[in-house]
């Protein structure tokens, strides 16, 4: 049967939206690329992250916090229905600072954000000794950290796998190894093409294909202002528990390895890793946790974040193509709960839909490319 909603992109973003639309009783089909597609969903850092988000737009802070708050229910539901474990932990997360000035600056920024968002922003500033109490293995050169109690992390690959299972369980169709390279509108329906072949028609289409949105967006009337930004990540061998909470640059994953990351480079779609950056990441990690020095790195990789000009998500209903939606963000894990629970209400035009006006493309003057 013809889907009501065709989702382009079967990563975390596409599957979260698909899951939510299915829960609203919609017929959904997801079109996903093959094994070698560019996949942020396979290379990310697994954080459900709140602190520091939205310093330039408090509404974004609220949006990520709303998602973080919804994550526990979201995870419970997935774990129950898929009989799996996502190992969600939301016991707070650190932003480490190597000097006092940086720590003071960060704290000041957070206080400013708190003031703009109703003074409800549960964070603490920890000096070195207080931090050492929380993280006994922290390095002597770390001045301190901010601890935000709503931060956390999850196994992102288990999430991806579970969402793929759940969407199918809910009756959604997922087509793999398919590249949709053209979408046209005729008779108030969208026709999806791969090469010359028309694969399907749908009343609505939701673009969730990450960097692929750049190619598909303009033909549906979107500015499609997204670009890839490379992040590099290292993972160590499984090691004894070394850290209690995640941070934005280092975390110990549920299987025991330590993940080290947080670089940002503008290198187009080159998703390789480099010696210069991986060596820098290793040096920084060693400074944060000196005990890591002796731990073996088993793998490194590069992955591409999907960035808008201001780094914030884009949620846009096409002005020229009714029923066509553009969804993108660089924090698909954090926002997965919001994308599953709230965004679909906006897509179907429900009265309880969140106000996403500030994430419209209208904020960008022109096409950046």
Partner 1 sequence: MSKVEPAELVIIGAGPAGMAAAITSANYGNRVVLLDEQPSPGGQIYRNVTHSTHLRDKILGTDFQHGRALTSKLKQPQIDYRPNAKVWRVDDDGQICYSIEDKATRITGKQIIIATGALERPVPVPGWTLPGAMTAGAVQILLKSSGLLPTQAVLAGAGPLLYLLAAQMIRAGVPPLAIVETQQRRDYISAARYLPVAMGNWPLLGKGLRLLAEIRRAGTPRYTTANNIKITGSSDVQGIQFSSSGKHHEIECNCVLLHQGVVPNTQISRLLRLTHSWHPQQHCFVPNTVAHGKTDNPIFQIAGDGAGISGALAAEHQGKLCALNALQQLGAADQTIIETEQSVTLKQLNREHRARPFLDTLYAPPTEALAPASDTIICRCEEVTAGAIRQQIPKGCTGPNQTKAFSRCGMGPCQGRYCGLTVTEILARENALAHDEVGAYRIRAPIKPVTVSELASLHE
Partner 2 sequence: MKLTRIEPLADNEITFTFDGKVISAASGDTIAAALLAAGVTATRHTPVNGSARAPFCMMGACYDCLVEIDGVAVQACMTEALPGLQVQRTTLSASIE
Residue 40 as a binder of partner 1 (CB under 8 A): the answer is: no
Taking the least distance from each CB to partner 2, the nearer of 36 and 296 is 296
Nearest to 181 by CA among 14, 284, 315, 33: 33
Residue 351 as a binder of partner 2 (CB under 8 A): the answer is: no
Residue 254 as a binder of partner 2 (CB under 8 A): the answer is: yes
35, 120, 240, 275: which one binds partner 2 (CB under 8 A): 240
Contact predicate 243/291, CB 8 Å: no
Report 286-305 residues binding partner 2 (CB under 8 A). 294, 296
Residues composing the chain: 369
Contact predicate 271/230, CB 8 Å: yes
Taking the least distance from each CB to partner 2, the nearer of 173 and 286 is 286
Contact predicate 18/6, CB 8 Å: no
Taking the least distance from each CB to partner 1, the nearer of 27 and 161 is 161
Kindly state the smallest distance separating residue 233's Cβ from partner 1, in Å. Answer: 10
Largest CA distance in the chain: 67
Residues 6+ apart with CB under 8 A from 55: 61, 109, 112, 113
Q: x/- string (CB under 8 A) for partner 1, residues 174-213?
A: x-xx------------------------------------
Residue 73 CB neighbours (<10 A): 11
Q: Which tokens hold the place of 304?
A: 């591409």
Report 87-116 residues binding partner 2 (CB under 8 A). 87
Residue found by looking up tokens 């993280």 in the block: 135
The backbone torsions φ and ψ at residue 148, rounded to the nearest 5 degrees and listed phi first, read -105, 125
Residue 282 as a binder of partner 1 (CB under 8 A): the answer is: yes
Between CA 111 and CA 122 the distance in angstroms is 10
132, 149, 161, 238: which one binds partner 2 (CB under 8 A): 238
Residue 296 as a binder of partner 1 (CB under 8 A): the answer is: yes
Taking the least distance from each CB to partner 2, the nearer of 1 and 240 is 240
Residues in contact with partner 1 by CB under 8 A are 10, 32, 34-36, 42, 157, 160-161, 164-165, 168, 174, 176-177, 234, 236-237, 255, 260, 272-276, 278-280, 282-283, 285-286, 292-301
């Amino acid at each position: 049967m013809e889907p009501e909603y065709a989702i382009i992109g079967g990563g975390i973003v596409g599957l979260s939206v698909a899951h939510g639309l299915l829960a609203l009783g919609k017929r959904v089909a997801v079109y996903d690329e093959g094994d070698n597609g560019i996949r942020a969903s396979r290379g990310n850092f697994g954080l459900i992250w709140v602190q520091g988000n939205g310093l330039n737009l408090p509404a974004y802070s609220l949006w990520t916090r709303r998602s973080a708050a919804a994550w526990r229910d979201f995870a419970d539901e997935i774990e129950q229905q898929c009989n799996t474990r996502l190992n969600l932990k939301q016991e707070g997360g650190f932003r480490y600072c190597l000097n006092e000035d940086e720590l003071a600056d960060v704290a000041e920024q957070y206080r400013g954000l708190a003031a703009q968002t109703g003074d409800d922003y549960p964070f603490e500033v920890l000096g070195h000794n207080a931090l050492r109490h929380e993280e006994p293995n922290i390095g002597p050169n770390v001045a301190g950290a901010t601890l935000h109690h709503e931060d956390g992390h999850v196994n992102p690959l288990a999430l991806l796998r579970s969402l793929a299972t759940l969407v199918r369980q809910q009756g959604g169709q997922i087509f793999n190894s398919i590249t949709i390279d053209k979408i046209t509108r005729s008779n108030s329906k969208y026709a999806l093409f791969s090469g010359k072949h028309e694969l399907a028609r749908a009343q609505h289409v939701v673009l969730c294909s990450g960097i692929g949105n750049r190619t598909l967006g303009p033909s549906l009337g979107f500015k499609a202002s997204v670009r890839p930004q490379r992040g590099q990540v290292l993972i160590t061998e499984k090691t004894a528990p070394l850290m209690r909470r995640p941070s934005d640059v280092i975390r110990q994953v549920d299987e025991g390895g330590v993940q080290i990351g947080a670089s940002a480079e503008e290198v187009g779609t080159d998703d390789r890793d480099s010696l210069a950056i991986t060596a820098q990441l290793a040096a920084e990690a060693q400074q944060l946790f000196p005990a890591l020095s002796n731990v073996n790195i088993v793998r490194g990789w590069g992955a591409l974040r999907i960035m808008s000009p201001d780094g914030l998500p884009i949620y846009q209903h096409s002005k020229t193509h009714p029923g066509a939606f553009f969804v993108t963000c660089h924090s698909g894990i954090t926002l997965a709960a919001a994308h599953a629970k709230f965004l679909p209400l906006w897509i179907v035009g429900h009265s309880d839909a969140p106000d996403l006006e500030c994430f419209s493309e209208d904020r960008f003057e022109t096409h950046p490319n």
